[in-house]
């Protein structure tokens, strides 16, 4: 969860956090991991990477929106926290569903 989140914050784009963190995540998984567990971990990694992307101060959409509406990036990021919390809850729910319900 931490590696994709950091990659998302530092890159600001989805391709950046997926390309930077998913090869490490795939290499850390032992061979023979059941498909539902692999999918659950990938959902968890993508969700936290996406949260990092949304909270990135270098995300192009955030910069352009703040420029257009003449707001500060810090204020916009604070307003994004509740939505990011919902993404985290949804990610954890999908992880739990894939990890435990599909056994």
Averaged in consecutive runs of 10 residues, what is the pLDDT profile of the chain (103 residues)?
Answer: 95 94 92 88 94 95 96 95 95 90 76
Closest CA to 12 of 58, 48, 65, 50: 58
Closest CA to 53 of 81, 11, 94: 11
Supply the pLDDT for residue 103: 72
Supply the pLDDT for residue 35: 86
Supply the pLDDT for residue 73: 95
Separation between Cα atoms, residue 28 and residue 21, nearest integer Å: 11
Residue 82: both structure tokens together: 């509740």
Supply the pLDDT for residue 101: 80
Supply the pLDDT for residue 50: 95
Name the residue ranges covered by the structural domains of the chain.
2-101
Residue 54: both structure tokens together: 């949304």
């Amino acid at each position: 969860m931490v590696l994709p989140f950091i990659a998302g914050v530092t890159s600001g784009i989805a391709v950046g956090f997926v390309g930077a963190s998913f090869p490490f995540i795939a290499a850390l998984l032992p061979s023979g991991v059941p498909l539902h567990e692999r999918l659950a971990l990938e959902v968890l990694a993508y969700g936290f990477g996406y949260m990092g992307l949304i909270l990135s101060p270098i995300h192009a959409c955030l910069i352009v929106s703040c420029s257009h509406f003449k707001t500060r990036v810090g204020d916009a990021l604070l307003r994004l926290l509740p939505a990011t919390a919902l993404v985290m809850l949804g990610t954890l729910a999908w992880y739990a569903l894939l990890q435990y319900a599909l056994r």
